[in-house]
Amino acid sequence: MSPVRYQSRSRSEVPFEAVGAGVLRVLSDSRTPVFLTVHASGRRRYGYWQPHDHATDRGGCYVALPTPICDRLYSEGRIALGDPLVDPAKTTYRVWLAYDPVTPVRIPVAPLSAVAVAQTLAA
């Protein structure tokens, strides 16, 4: 019997929803601040610092997030940028999840008579 060979998928073949969900998961963790750096050349880079984990002996480095995915989330209004920190060579923004305020929904209710209210309370 021959070994089973799995087809590898390139990053471009992974659905946007899966990659976008991973980016949103990183952004939703308040312990992981994410930043956008816009260089003077116009190059944009989203990333965060991954602290060192002694248990797995991994981390202690910057991790870049996929720029096209983050730009799409920004254009859809899913993420927002904080105040800029301007440097001669680059501008850095803090990236936040965009929380849209939800308008309260009022359900129309027909007025009840006093007898119906009394019967409801007695039950």
Which residue shows structure tokens 């359900």? 107
Q: Would you call 47 helix, strand, or coil by DSSP?
A: strand
The string of DSSP letters for 22-36 reads HHHHHHH-TTS-EEE
Give residue-wise pLDDT tens across range 59-79. 788 899 999 999 988 888 888
Tokens 């501008």 correspond to 91
> What amino acid occupies position 2?
S
The C-alpha R_g of the chain, in whole angstroms, comes to 24
Averaged pLDDT score across all residues of the chain: 77
Supply the pTM of this predicted model.
0.63
**Buried-state track 29-54, b at ≥16 Cβ within 10 A, e below 16:** eeeeebbbbbeeeeeebbbbeeeeee
Higher per-residue pLDDT: 114 or 97: 97
* Residue 94 binned pLDDT confidence (cut-offs 50, 70, 90): very high
Instruction: Tell me which range, 13-17, 47-51, 103-107, is most confidently predicted by mean pLDDT.
Output: 47-51
